[in-house]
Amino acid sequence: MNETLHRPSVLAVIPARGGSKGLPGKNIRPLLGKPLLAHSVALARELGPDVRCIVSTDDPAIADAARAAGADVPFQRPAELADDTAPMSVVLRHALTTMEEIDGTRYDMVLLLDPTSPTRNAEDVRAAIEQLRDSDGLDGVIAVSEPFFNPTWVGVRPSGDDSAVLERYSSEGTGVVRRQDVPRFLRINGSFYVWTAAFVRRLENSWFDEGRHGFVEVPETSAFSIDDEHEFRLVEAVVSAGLAPLPGHSTGTPAAGGLA
């Protein structure tokens, strides 16, 4: 077998620092029997040999939990990249350059799998990788979903002239009297992002403002980002009801309209 033809072309990075303030210890807190980050590790392992997955952390306890889940933790993230002010772009670039040195190879893409968005399925992530691989003009492909409400229709804010009075948040909603008449609204939900390695190397600040992106739409019922206790418990409830996927966890037969 020619190893050159089968080298991983995608570096999947699971960033898991130890200093969470909203929900301390969340990255290794058990979610339905496994540490939260273990579900992202399980997803990455479903993606096949083209994807090399590593966990970037500054915390020895997180590193131990990641290795116990079957992840590779080949370096310790520097402290200056582990506080809540460090941009994700810098964390990813550090992971990419470090792993290219360790592995002695050049990766084509970087896949970001935040452990706080565990309810994904491999099919959607593969679709994003394939879309980026097949495109000449995109810097990245990201996960989006359609919220249960459309802010063009119901979004409001206190008026700048009188804070006790409401005004429309978006002028696009002016004069619209039926929900069906507002343009479709999608949100970036954080489930996964995949970028070309070249884009990660040159990224300065805002990936959205600096690049050109495609998207893979996923159901809103599986688009979660866990930042506090309420969201953690909500994910447990939704997955237990069979309404959202969770890699490495089986709930039996999903409820009607749910995802396998």
Helix (H) or strand (E) holding 166: strand 166-168
Does residue 93 lie within any of the structural domains?
A: yes
Closest CA to 108 of 194, 199, 212, 10: 10
Predicted confidence (pLDDT) per residue in 53-85, tens digit = 999 999 999 999 999 999 999 999 999 998 888
Q: Are residues 166 and 80 in the same domain?
A: no
Neighbour count for residue 56 (Cβ, 10 Å): 25
Q: Are residues 110 and 67 in the same domain?
A: yes
Average pLDDT over residues 185-207: 95
Whether 22 shows a pLDDT value over 80: the answer reads no
Does residue 60 lie within any of the structural domains?
A: yes
The residue with greater pLDDT, 188 or 8, is 188
- Rg (the chain; Cα; Å): 20
Q: Are residues 63 and 111 in the same domain?
A: yes
Q: Are residues 13 and 123 in the same domain?
A: yes
Whether 7 shows a pLDDT value over 70: the answer reads no
Q: Are residues 156 and 234 in the same domain?
A: no
Which domain does 161 fall in, by range?
A: 151-181
Q: Are residues 138 and 42 in the same domain?
A: yes
Predicted confidence (pLDDT) per residue in 119-154, tens digit = 999 999 999 999 999 998 999 999 999 999 999 889
The residue with greater pLDDT, 8 or 130, is 130
Whether 17 shows a pLDDT value over 60: the answer reads yes
The enclosing domain of 62 has a CATH number of 3.90.550.10
Say if residue 1 is exposed, middle or buried (CB neighbours under 10 Å; 0-12, 13-18, 19+): exposed
Q: Are residues 96 and 158 in the same domain?
A: no
Closest CA to 54 of 64, 62, 44: 44
Predicted confidence (pLDDT) per residue in 98-115, tens digit = 999 999 999 999 999 999
Q: Please give the tally of structural domains in the chain.
A: 2
Does residue 66 lie within any of the structural domains?
A: yes
Q: Are residues 162 and 139 in the same domain?
A: no
**Length of the chain measured in residues:** 260
Does residue 156 lie within any of the structural domains?
A: yes
Mean pLDDT of the chain: 89
